[in-house]
Chain A
Protein backbone atom coordinates (compact mmCIF):
# COMPACT_ATOMS: atom_id res chain seq x y z
CA UNK A 1 0.00 0.00 0.00
CA UNK A 2 1.25 3.50 -0.82
CA UNK A 3 1.62 6.26 1.69
CA UNK A 4 -1.94 7.52 1.19
CA UNK A 5 -5.29 5.79 1.56
CA UNK A 6 -7.72 5.14 -1.31
CA UNK A 7 -11.47 5.63 -0.79
CA UNK A 8 -11.76 1.85 -0.33
CA UNK A 9 -9.08 1.90 2.39
CA UNK A 10 -10.98 4.66 4.19
CA UNK A 11 -14.34 2.87 3.92
CA UNK A 12 -12.84 -0.35 5.29
CA UNK A 13 -11.65 1.56 8.37
CA UNK A 14 -14.77 3.66 8.86
CA UNK A 15 -16.14 1.57 11.72
CA UNK A 16 -12.86 1.46 13.59
CA UNK A 17 -12.56 5.22 13.12
CA UNK A 18 -16.00 6.10 14.47
CA UNK A 19 -15.57 3.64 17.36
CA UNK A 20 -12.26 5.29 18.32
CA UNK A 21 -10.28 2.11 17.69
CA UNK A 22 -7.80 3.32 15.05
CA UNK A 23 -4.15 4.04 15.72
CA UNK A 24 -2.57 7.45 15.20
CA UNK A 25 -1.01 6.66 11.79
CA UNK A 26 -4.27 5.42 10.25
CA UNK A 27 -6.23 8.35 11.74
CA UNK A 28 -3.74 10.76 10.19
CA UNK A 29 -3.96 9.08 6.77
CA UNK A 30 -7.75 9.25 6.90
CA UNK A 31 -7.69 12.89 7.93
CA UNK A 32 -5.42 13.72 4.98
CA UNK A 33 -7.69 11.79 2.62
CA UNK A 34 -10.88 13.44 3.92
CA UNK A 35 -9.36 16.88 3.35
CA UNK A 36 -9.38 16.23 -0.39
CA UNK A 37 -12.25 13.73 -0.85
CA UNK A 38 -15.86 14.89 -0.42
CA UNK A 39 -17.25 11.39 -1.07
CA UNK A 40 -15.35 9.83 1.82
CA UNK A 41 -16.13 12.79 4.06
CA UNK A 42 -19.84 12.22 3.32
CA UNK A 43 -19.47 8.47 3.84
CA UNK A 44 -17.86 8.85 7.28
CA UNK A 45 -20.58 11.35 8.22
CA UNK A 46 -23.25 8.85 7.11
CA UNK A 47 -21.63 6.09 9.17
CA UNK A 48 -21.67 8.31 12.27
CA UNK A 49 -25.35 9.11 11.65
CA UNK A 50 -26.09 5.41 11.17
CA UNK A 51 -24.40 4.53 14.46
CA UNK A 52 -26.35 7.25 16.30
CA UNK A 53 -29.71 6.15 14.82
CA UNK A 54 -29.04 2.52 15.76
CA UNK A 55 -28.33 3.53 19.36
CA UNK A 56 -31.39 5.80 19.43
CA UNK A 57 -33.59 2.98 18.14
CA UNK A 58 -33.01 1.06 21.41
CA UNK A 59 -34.96 3.74 23.27
CA UNK A 60 -38.03 3.56 21.04
CA UNK A 61 -41.19 3.45 23.13
CA UNK A 62 -42.31 -0.16 23.37
CA UNK A 63 -45.88 -1.37 23.27
CA UNK A 64 -48.03 -1.46 26.40
CA UNK A 65 -47.14 -4.36 28.68
CA UNK A 66 -49.99 -6.86 29.04
CA UNK A 67 -50.54 -7.37 32.81
CA UNK A 68 -51.04 -11.10 32.19
CA UNK A 69 -47.45 -11.36 30.91
CA UNK A 70 -46.14 -9.85 34.15
CA UNK A 71 -48.46 -12.04 36.26
CA UNK A 72 -47.23 -15.20 34.55
CA UNK A 73 -43.60 -14.35 35.30
CA UNK A 74 -44.28 -13.24 38.89
CA UNK A 75 -46.22 -16.45 39.54
CA UNK A 76 -43.24 -18.49 38.40
CA UNK A 77 -40.87 -16.40 40.53
CA UNK A 78 -43.06 -17.03 43.59
CA UNK A 79 -43.07 -20.80 42.96
CA UNK A 80 -40.30 -22.20 45.17
CA UNK A 81 -39.71 -25.46 43.32
CA UNK A 82 -38.48 -23.90 40.06
CA UNK A 83 -34.71 -24.05 39.67
CA UNK A 84 -33.12 -20.73 38.66
CA UNK A 85 -31.31 -20.54 35.31
CA UNK A 86 -27.52 -20.29 35.47
CA UNK A 87 -26.65 -16.66 36.00
CA UNK A 88 -23.59 -14.66 35.05
CA UNK A 89 -21.33 -13.15 37.66
CA UNK A 90 -22.82 -9.64 37.60
Chain B
Protein backbone atom coordinates (compact mmCIF):
# COMPACT_ATOMS: atom_id res chain seq x y z
CA UNK B 1 0.00 0.00 0.00
CA UNK B 2 1.35 3.44 -0.87
CA UNK B 3 2.10 5.69 2.10
CA UNK B 4 2.98 8.70 0.00
CA UNK B 5 0.35 11.43 0.20
CA UNK B 6 -1.42 12.78 -2.88
CA UNK B 7 0.70 15.95 -2.71
CA UNK B 8 3.81 13.84 -2.51
CA UNK B 9 2.63 11.71 -5.43
CA UNK B 10 2.33 14.80 -7.60
CA UNK B 11 5.69 16.11 -6.41
CA UNK B 12 7.39 12.81 -7.18
CA UNK B 13 5.76 12.58 -10.62
CA UNK B 14 7.00 16.11 -11.40
CA UNK B 15 10.51 15.25 -10.17
CA UNK B 16 10.57 12.11 -12.34
CA UNK B 17 9.60 14.33 -15.30
CA UNK B 18 12.58 16.59 -14.52
CA UNK B 19 10.43 19.60 -13.53
CA UNK B 20 12.84 22.25 -12.16
CA UNK B 21 10.08 24.13 -10.29
CA UNK B 22 9.14 20.91 -8.48
CA UNK B 23 12.78 20.40 -7.54
CA UNK B 24 12.90 23.98 -6.20
CA UNK B 25 9.80 23.27 -4.07
CA UNK B 26 11.25 20.05 -2.70
CA UNK B 27 14.58 21.73 -2.01
CA UNK B 28 12.91 24.64 -0.24
CA UNK B 29 10.89 22.29 1.92
CA UNK B 30 13.52 19.73 2.85
CA UNK B 31 17.02 21.14 2.44
CA UNK B 32 17.16 23.14 5.69
CA UNK B 33 16.10 20.18 7.91
CA UNK B 34 18.43 17.91 5.88
CA UNK B 35 21.39 20.18 6.69
CA UNK B 36 20.33 20.39 10.34
CA UNK B 37 20.11 16.60 10.58
CA UNK B 38 23.46 16.11 8.82
CA UNK B 39 24.96 18.66 11.23
CA UNK B 40 23.72 16.55 14.15
CA UNK B 41 25.47 13.52 12.66
CA UNK B 42 28.68 15.20 11.45
CA UNK B 43 28.95 18.07 13.97
CA UNK B 44 30.22 20.25 11.15
CA UNK B 45 28.05 22.66 9.17
CA UNK B 46 30.21 22.78 6.01
CA UNK B 47 30.36 18.97 5.78
CA UNK B 48 26.61 18.84 6.43
CA UNK B 49 25.92 21.14 3.48
CA UNK B 50 28.11 19.00 1.20
CA UNK B 51 26.36 15.84 2.33
CA UNK B 52 22.94 17.41 1.73
CA UNK B 53 24.03 18.25 -1.81
CA UNK B 54 25.27 14.67 -2.32
CA UNK B 55 21.91 13.43 -1.04
CA UNK B 56 20.00 15.64 -3.53
CA UNK B 57 22.08 14.25 -6.40
CA UNK B 58 21.21 10.75 -5.24
CA UNK B 59 17.54 11.62 -4.76
CA UNK B 60 17.19 13.04 -8.28
CA UNK B 61 19.14 10.21 -9.89
CA UNK B 62 17.03 7.59 -8.12
CA UNK B 63 13.63 9.28 -8.01
CA UNK B 64 12.33 6.82 -10.60
CA UNK B 65 12.83 3.97 -8.12
CA UNK B 66 10.68 5.58 -5.38
CA UNK B 67 7.64 3.33 -5.05
CA UNK B 68 5.76 5.00 -2.21
CA UNK B 69 6.27 2.22 0.32
CA UNK B 70 7.45 4.92 2.72
CA UNK B 71 6.54 8.59 2.63
CA UNK B 72 8.67 10.71 0.32
CA UNK B 73 10.05 12.53 3.38
CA UNK B 74 11.13 9.23 4.96
CA UNK B 75 12.81 8.22 1.70
CA UNK B 76 14.62 11.56 1.43
CA UNK B 77 15.82 11.54 5.04
CA UNK B 78 16.95 7.92 4.84
CA UNK B 79 19.12 8.79 1.82
CA UNK B 80 20.46 11.81 3.70
CA UNK B 81 21.21 9.78 6.82
CA UNK B 82 23.00 7.08 4.81
CA UNK B 83 25.08 9.73 3.05
CA UNK B 84 25.96 11.45 6.35
CA UNK B 85 26.91 8.20 8.04
CA UNK B 86 29.10 7.19 5.07
CA UNK B 87 30.79 10.57 5.21
CA UNK B 88 31.36 10.22 8.97
CA UNK B 89 32.95 6.80 8.43
CA UNK B 90 35.15 8.21 5.64
CA UNK B 91 36.24 10.97 8.00
CA UNK B 92 37.11 8.35 10.61
CA UNK B 93 34.28 9.32 12.94
CA UNK B 94 32.04 6.85 14.68
CA UNK B 95 28.35 7.73 14.71
CA UNK B 96 26.54 6.53 17.79
CA UNK B 97 23.07 7.59 18.73
CA UNK B 98 22.99 6.25 22.25
CA UNK B 99 21.11 7.96 25.04
CA UNK B 100 23.70 10.20 26.68
CA UNK B 101 21.60 10.66 29.80
CA UNK B 102 21.53 14.40 29.12
CA UNK B 103 18.51 16.60 29.37
CA UNK B 104 16.10 15.12 31.87
CA UNK B 105 14.37 18.38 32.66
CA UNK B 106 12.02 16.68 35.12
CA UNK B 107 14.81 15.25 37.32
CA UNK B 108 14.13 17.76 40.12
CA UNK B 109 10.45 18.41 39.45
CA UNK B 110 9.07 16.04 42.12
CA UNK B 111 9.30 15.70 45.90
CA UNK B 112 10.11 12.46 47.69
CA UNK B 113 6.50 11.27 47.42
CA UNK B 114 6.34 11.75 43.63
CA UNK B 115 4.26 14.95 43.71
CA UNK B 116 5.05 18.15 41.79
CA UNK B 117 7.19 20.63 43.70
CA UNK B 118 5.85 23.41 41.45
CA UNK B 119 2.50 22.53 39.93
CA UNK B 120 2.45 23.15 36.13
CA UNK B 121 0.18 26.01 35.06
CA UNK B 122 -1.90 26.14 31.90
CA UNK B 123 -0.26 27.98 28.99
CA UNK B 124 -2.39 30.67 27.43
CA UNK B 125 -2.62 31.75 23.80
CA UNK B 126 -0.55 28.93 22.34
CA UNK B 127 -0.57 29.60 18.60
CA UNK B 128 2.29 29.11 16.13
CA UNK B 129 2.18 32.82 15.25
CA UNK B 130 2.43 34.10 18.81
CA UNK B 131 5.47 36.35 19.25
CA UNK B 132 7.53 35.99 22.40
CA UNK B 133 10.93 37.57 22.98
CA UNK B 134 10.97 38.93 19.42
CA UNK B 135 10.07 35.84 17.39
CA UNK B 136 7.21 33.41 16.95
CA UNK B 137 6.82 30.16 18.84
CA UNK B 138 7.74 27.99 15.84
CA UNK B 139 11.10 29.78 15.52
CA UNK B 140 11.69 29.19 19.22
CA UNK B 141 10.87 25.51 18.79
CA UNK B 142 13.30 25.09 15.87
CA UNK B 143 16.04 26.96 17.76
CA UNK B 144 15.45 24.80 20.85
CA UNK B 145 15.68 21.62 18.72
CA UNK B 146 19.04 22.83 17.39
CA UNK B 147 20.31 23.16 20.98
CA UNK B 148 19.47 19.54 21.87
CA UNK B 149 22.25 16.95 22.23
CA UNK B 150 22.93 15.40 18.78
CA UNK B 151 21.08 12.10 19.26
CA UNK B 152 17.96 13.79 20.65
CA UNK B 153 18.12 16.37 17.85
CA UNK B 154 18.28 13.69 15.15
CA UNK B 155 15.29 11.81 16.60
CA UNK B 156 13.34 15.04 17.04
CA UNK B 157 13.90 16.16 13.44
CA UNK B 158 12.89 12.78 11.99
CA UNK B 159 10.11 11.69 14.33
CA UNK B 160 8.87 14.97 15.80
CA UNK B 161 9.15 17.35 12.86
CA UNK B 162 9.03 15.11 9.78
CA UNK B 163 6.59 12.62 11.28
CA UNK B 164 8.50 9.51 10.21
CA UNK B 165 7.34 6.17 11.62
CA UNK B 166 9.23 4.87 14.67
CA UNK B 167 10.59 1.91 12.70
CA UNK B 168 11.81 4.21 9.89
CA UNK B 169 13.63 6.46 12.38
CA UNK B 170 15.26 3.46 14.08
CA UNK B 171 16.41 2.04 10.73
CA UNK B 172 17.76 5.39 9.51
CA UNK B 173 19.74 6.08 12.70
CA UNK B 174 20.62 2.47 13.55
CA UNK B 175 19.09 2.59 17.04
CA UNK B 176 16.69 0.37 18.95
CA UNK B 177 13.06 1.34 19.43
CA UNK B 178 13.63 1.57 23.20
CA UNK B 179 16.53 3.95 22.71
CA UNK B 180 14.51 6.06 20.30
CA UNK B 181 11.67 6.39 22.82
CA UNK B 182 14.05 7.52 25.55
CA UNK B 183 15.64 10.10 23.23
CA UNK B 184 12.23 11.36 22.06
CA UNK B 185 10.99 11.55 25.67
CA UNK B 186 13.98 13.62 26.81
CA UNK B 187 13.84 15.85 23.74
CA UNK B 188 10.12 16.59 24.15
CA UNK B 189 10.61 17.33 27.85
CA UNK B 190 13.41 19.76 26.99
CA UNK B 191 11.19 21.55 24.46
CA UNK B 192 8.26 21.60 26.86
CA UNK B 193 10.65 23.16 29.42
CA UNK B 194 11.67 25.86 26.94
CA UNK B 195 8.03 26.61 26.04
CA UNK B 196 7.16 26.71 29.75
CA UNK B 197 9.91 29.30 30.27
CA UNK B 198 8.48 31.39 27.40
CA UNK B 199 4.78 31.01 28.18
CA UNK B 200 4.43 30.82 31.98
> Chain B: how many interface residues by the 8 Å CB criterion?
63
Is there contact, CB below 8 Å, between B139 and A60?
A: yes
CA separation between A12 and B23, bound complex, in Å? Answer: 42
Residues in B neighbouring A74, C-beta threshold 8 A: 20, 23, 60
Tell yes or no: B45 within 8 A of A by CB.
no
Point out the residues of chain A lying under 8 angstroms from B181, CB to CB: 15-16
Tier of interface size on chain A: 35 or more
A residues contacting B by CB (< 8 A) are 6-9, 11, 15-16, 38-40, 42-43, 45-47, 49-51, 53-58, 60, 62-65, 69-70, 72-74, 76-77, 82, 84-90
Q: How far is the CB of A30 from chain B (nearest CB, A)?
A: 14
Cβ contacts under 8 Å, B192 to chain A: 46-47, 50
Q: Which residues of A contact B47 (CB under 8 A)?
A: none
Q: Which residue of A lies closest to B190 (CB)?
A: A50
Which residues of the partner chain B approach A50 to less than 8 Å between Cβ atoms? Answer: 188, 191-192, 195
Q: Which chain B residues lie closer than 8 Å to A65 at the CB level?
A: 24, 27-28, 31
Residues of B within 8 A of A89 (CB): 69
Q: Do the beta carbons of A51 and B188 come within 8 Å of each other?
A: yes
Q: Which residue of A lies closest to B70 (CB)?
A: A90
The residue of chain A having its C-beta at the shortest distance from the C-beta of B122 within the complex is A42
Give Cα A73–Cα B122 distance, bound, in whole angstroms: 47
A73 close to B70 (CB less than 8 A): no
B135 CB, nearest partner CB in chain A, Å: 11
Do B121 and A42 touch across chains, with their CB atoms under 8 A apart? yes
Question: Are A54 and B161 touching (Cβ within 8 A)?
Answer: yes
Residues on B with C-beta less than 8 A from A54 are 141, 145, 156, 160-161, 188, 191
Asked whether, in the complex, the Cβ of A8 is within 8 Å of the Cβ of B114, the reply is yes
**A46-B192, A53-B128, A60-B139 in contact; A84/B116 too (CB < 8 A)?**
no
